[in-house]
Amino acid sequence: MDGIQADRLDNFREQEIASGVGFPVYGVTGWSGWKWLDSVDGYNTGAVWIGHATRDRQAGVLVGTLPRDTFDREFWPENRDRQEAAAMAARDQFINVLGPPMPLPENLGNAIVEHVDHQVNRHAAWKQVGWTVEGTESSAKVYEFAGAWMGISEELPHAHLVAVGVGLPPVLDLYKARGEWYGVDFAAPIRIRHLQRRPEKAMPYANESLHAEQLALVRTE
């Protein structure tokens, strides 16, 4: 790589993508495996997703903190169900972790998206489970499909909590995360380099081959 290319890469890595995080961000309590900043939605920070994976990358959890004042105002300004909006925010993350890591037939890919969208619309019927947030028992709604799950909790006054999991039961113990544990200073501007990470710092797929529940969506017999 010559000097010009290196300078361009450095400039790209230093691009600011969010002004900082002015609200508590939640992660999994006592996680001893890989941890990372996964994504930030919007310059004004409508959501922060932090990732957790076991050292063997057989299981993982993404936790999203969606601040009500920003998320509700700027990302979902329509007069709609805020819990549904929070569930929709987890939709893409959930679809991404289902796997398998290969191109899917178009009809199957479309069927999976339609199925997940339908379940988001039915979020009120999701299974209720218990989460713990900062030592306080909270309730959450969870949907499970093809070896993965997504959940939402609406009990915090200042944020929607959403999560996507693989290889672990959908019962979480959450705490206010410190940015340095995830390779970032939440109080400072967030740059592209904060999202660049080693391959092991990524969510594992729920499936290495097609799951029976995925295939059932297009089965015709």
pLDDT in tens, 15-55: 877 777 889 999 999 999 999 999 998 656 789 999 999 99
The answer to whether the bond into 77 is cis (omega within 30° of 0) is no
Question: What are the DSSP calls for 12-69, one per residue?
Answer: HHT-EEES---S--EEETT--SEEEEEEEETTTTSEEEEEEE-TTSS-EEEEEEEEHH
In a domain, 200, yes or no: yes
In a domain, 15, yes or no: yes
In a domain, 58, yes or no: yes
**What is the mean predicted confidence (pLDDT) over 140-161?**
97
**What is the mean predicted confidence (pLDDT) over 53-75?**
92
What pLDDT does residue 2 have? 59
**In this model, does residue 147 exceed pLDDT 70?**
yes
* Confidence class for position 61, pLDDT limits 50, 70, 90: very high
In a domain, 57, yes or no: yes
16 or 129, greater pLDDT: 129
In a domain, 37, yes or no: yes
What pLDDT does residue 221 have? 38
Q: Which of 20-24, 71-75, 103-107, 172-176 has the highest mean pLDDT?
A: 172-176
Enclosing domain of residue 141: 3-215
Q: How many domains does the chain have?
A: 1
- 152 near 83, Cβ under 8 Å? yes
In a domain, 173, yes or no: yes
Q: What is the mean pLDDT of the chain?
A: 89
Least confident of 52-61, 69-78, 85-94, 133-142: 69-78
What pLDDT does residue 6 have? 44
What pLDDT does residue 158 have? 95
In a domain, 220, yes or no: no
137 Cβ contact list (under 8 Å, min separation 6): 130, 131
- 74 near 91, Cβ under 8 Å? no
Instruction: Please give the model's pTM, rounded to 2 decimal places.
Output: 0.90
- Tokens, residue 144: 């499970």
- Phi and psi based region of residue 163 (left: phi greater than 0; alpha: psi -120 to 50; beta: remaining): beta
**What is the mean predicted confidence (pLDDT) over 52-65?**
97
**In this model, does residue 9 exceed pLDDT 50?**
no
